[in-house]
Amino acid sequence: MTTEAMERIERDGLLLVAQAEEIQVRDADGFQQAGVFLRRVTGGLKMAHDLMDPICEASDHAHKVAVAQRKKLIEPFETAKRIVGAEVSTWEQAERDRVAREQRAADAERRRLEDEARLAVAAQLEAQGKPEAAQAALTAPVTMPVFTPPVQAVPKAEGLSFRDNWKARVVDPVALIKAVANGEAPANLVIPDQQALNKLAVALKGEMRVPGVESFCERISSVKA
């Protein structure tokens, strides 16, 4: 019976849509006829709600129960993952910082040793009475290998990987708005709060005065079945 009722209501709705496209209100008589038609539509809408609302409510309830059960099951795992994930991410970042520091120190030590090697070669050439060659040796590549201790890489863990996840946070909303106003940042970085604007329009109506915003009124019909 429910399937038959659904099919009948669907046919009625499609028929009303076709009829609605033919209705044009040009005079008082057409206005009255449109009112009668809207009452038919409202009656059909009520029938659709009466039929489908209980089904939807039952489905919504079952969905909510399933979602709640899923949350109950996965939440401990997500919590454990979040706790240990934060620990390994913090340690791995610290290791990356350590490697970067040690690499900078190793590079600096290598440059120092290379400079010492150049100076030694230049001094030897100078002592041999070759000032031009000595001067050139100060900027020449070092042919003798220079040893610096290797930097220990960041350890790896099986099944564990990391990726950079850059995000942005607004620390100065006024500065951001000024940047958009001055053309220094795209306008889509500032999203209007439509709900707040609508509330302001309801409160102030035609007296609303906000730069870049206009208030307008839509007439909405209300029909009793």
pLDDT at 142: 76
The pTM for the full model equals 0.59
- What is the percent of the chain where pLDDT is above 90? 64
pLDDT at 45: 94
Q: Does 14 score more than 80 pLDDT? A: yes
85-124 confidence digits (pLDDT tens): 999 999 999 998 999 998 898 888 888 888 888 898 889 8
Give the CA dihedral 78, 80, 82, 86, nearest 10 degrees. Answer: -170
Q: Is the pLDDT of residue 225 over 80?
A: no
Residue 157 has pLDDT above 90, yes or no: no
Q: Is the torsion defined by CA of 23, 25, 30, 36 positive or negative? A: positive
* Tokens found for residue 127: 């002592």
SS3 assignment for 128-190? CCCHHHHHHHCCCCCCCCCCCCCCCCCCCECCECCCCCCCCCCCCHHHHHHHHHCCCCCHHHC
Mean pLDDT of 35-64: 94
Residue pLDDT, tens place only, 191-201: 999 999 999 99
